[in-house]
Amino acid sequence: MTSPLTPDPHVEPLTRVQVLAAMGLTAIVLLLIAKVWLHFDSTGLLPLQLSWLHGLWGVALGLVITLASAGVYQLWPGYRKNADSYLAMVLRPLHWFDLLWLGLLPGLSEELLFRGVMLPAIGLNRLGIFVSGASFGILHMSSLQQWPYMLWATVVGMALATSAVVTGNLLVPVVAHVVVNLVSSLVWKVRQPPHLPSND
């Protein structure tokens, strides 16, 4: 069993450049899929309207999801093992400033595709919420052994989709997603010993 401080011996450690390149490439691919989908689907994009109230709702939802994730982490050993492995692989090589990109790139590109395009195309209803959430969960499963992480990502995706349906504003899940990524990664980094080397 690995911990956040012990790399998985079956996975080759990634460098900072590899993690940043993978984040950028994934964001571009998701944005392209969203653009192509919009080209062939007349439903259109869920609106993103700037609103202080909806922005605060997004922050609140992001903090609730982060706290819930911490609870699941404590109570479910399978999820804890998957999360430790995933976070160590992605966060260990990153510098503090890189966490801003980790918050923004997935938060924007994943929400645009899953909640901005997919959700209204399937329907702003329970089916749309489920399919959007399940697709989001599958995106976060790097192997079959990561199913607990995928299952929790599905629940989070459904919560984000529900917030989009309730408010009709893509801003809420975007802000929530960015908050979850930023807070989770900052907490993980703070908890690491300062002497750990990072790969460039």
For the stretch 20-69, pLDDT in tens is: 999 999 999 999 999 999 999 888 899 999 999 999 999 999 999 999 99
**pLDDT at 1 (0 to 100):** 30
Number of Cβ within a 10 Å radius of residue 61: 22
Token duo for residue 1: 């069993």
Query: Which residue has 């195309």 as its token pair?
Result: 121
**pLDDT at 140 (0 to 100):** 86
**pLDDT at 10 (0 to 100):** 54
Token duo for residue 92: 């260990």
Query: For the stretch 90-128, what's the b/e string if a residue is b when 16 or more beta carbons lie within 10 angstroms of its beta carbon?
Result: bbbbbeeebbebbbbbbbbbbbbbbbbbbbbbbebeeeb
Q: Which of 3, 191, 11 is nearest to 80 (CA)?
A: 3
Are the C-beta atoms of residues 144 and 23 closer than 8 Å to each other?
no
**pLDDT at 5 (0 to 100):** 36
Query: Which residue has 């093992």 as its token pair?
Result: 81
Number of Cβ within a 10 Å radius of residue 73: 16
Q: What angle do CA 50, 53, 57 make, to 5 degrees?
A: 105
Token duo for residue 134: 């399940």
In whole angstroms, give the CA distance from residue 160 to residue 1: 31
Backbone angles phi, psi at 125, to 5 degrees: -150, -170
In whole angstroms, give the CA distance from residue 107 to residue 179: 9
Read off the pTM: 0.87
DSSP state of 143: S
In whole angstroms, give the CA distance from residue 161 to residue 149: 18
Chain mean position to CA 69: 12
Low-confidence stretches of the chain (pLDDT beneath 50): 1-9, 196-199
**pLDDT at 44 (0 to 100):** 87
Token duo for residue 7: 């790399």
Token duo for residue 174: 């975007």
